[in-house]
Amino acid sequence: MADLDAATGWRPLGDTPIRLGLGPANYAGQAAAFAAAVCRYDPDVSAEVVMRRGEGGFGFPADVYLETARLGDLDVQIEQLRRVIGRYTHLVADAFLPIFGRLNGTSVEGDLPALRQAGVQVALLAHGSEVRHPVRHRERNEHSPFRDAPEEAVARMASRAERNHRVAQRSGLPLFVTTPDLLADLPEARWAPVVVDVDAWASAHPVLGRPRPVVLHAPSARWLKGTDRILPVLTELHDEGTIDLRLAEELAWTDLRELVRTADVVLDQFALGSYGTFAVEAMAAGRPVLGYLDERTRELMAEPPPIVNATPETLREELTALIADPPRAARIGRESVEYTREWHDGRRTARVLEAFLRG
């Protein structure tokens, strides 16, 4: 049995009973994290992670990077066919993106007949906007970012979500989601929790150990995170000297990790009603996290995370109360680490995927 690769964390694709491909989105590095989790807990699995890459973007680990601009090139498509057919026994196709470049269209659905004929067992993995229906989201969520989005943008996103819902239903394939709120859109799916390397995010930096606490907000997309709704409050608190606001955007993943590990408080999102990879990483670092968790998402979870629940309207009150109570903030930080070890260190996700891999 081959050892886990020290650089990637997963067992390189090789002579194992289960040869698992993952990709090609690898959003927030989650295909890579899933590969490491599954290989760590199942010695019969080796893996290969493929990731599409455009200009810029985060440097998440993968075995193969596909240049987005070349997905229409025949040589790239043939190379992908050779990479998958005859090598993979299983494939976790994420974000409903096509596997063979644009050979069979812009959706994974076009590639499924070839994968079936080749005997590759396929599961679909959704991360968020590819299946989150914006109209339904704003109907059930008073803080939905889609309430402020232009109607033409909402129509485009709704069309994409509806197409992917049809793909999921017609294919009958195993279906997984990385965040629990997506179960409202795809109730037939199973939640495979976001995976982080808890030890890699560990921090000895004290919480609220300085007179002016550093409050970090790092939106991947301002409108989705509700950034513009909370910036007026945060700017006021910064100008008053109550907090030292750090707004981090378009940073390399390694640079952002250092900011997270030395912050006093981390702000996640205030619009979607759920939590994702960034919040989990901050919790793994022992940072108290503030964000908006809607009631439906909390009800979908056996044990909601120790995130301080806040909306744009209650953020000032919740944040000032937290920084005024260092013992409470430190306790939430400790509970956050415990929660990530219980739910997001990869064990639960590997168990969720086991039925697909062993089926």
Token pair for 214:
């550093």
Q: What are the C-alpha distances in Å from 184 to residues 230, 298, 356?
A: 26, 12, 22
Q: Is the pLDDT of residue 353 over 60?
A: yes
Work out whether strand 18-23 and strand 45-53 pair parallel, antiparallel, or are unpaired. parallel
Say what the pLDDT of residue 1 is: 59
Q: Is the pLDDT of residue 65 over 60?
A: yes
Token pair for 191:
């939640």
Instruction: Please give the Cα distance from 246 to 234 (Å, whole number).
Output: 10
Is residue 318 within 8 A of residue 290, CB to CB? The reply is yes
| Side-chain-facing half-sphere of 104: CA atoms under 13 Å | 17
Helix (H/G/I), strand (E/B), else coil: 99? coil
Domains of the chain: 18-195+346-358 (3.40.50), 198-343 (3.40.50.2000)
Of 59-63, 293-297, 309-313, where does mean pLDDT reach its minimum?
59-63
- Would you give the DSSP letter of residue 101? T
Across the range 69-87, mean pLDDT stands at 97
pTM over 0.75: yes
Q: Is the pLDDT of residue 58 over 80?
A: no
- Would you give the DSSP letter of residue 181? G
| 291-309 per-position pLDDT tens digit | 999 999 999 899 999 999 9
- Would you give the DSSP letter of residue 239? H
Say what the pLDDT of residue 56 is: 56
Q: Is the pLDDT of residue 230 over 90?
A: yes
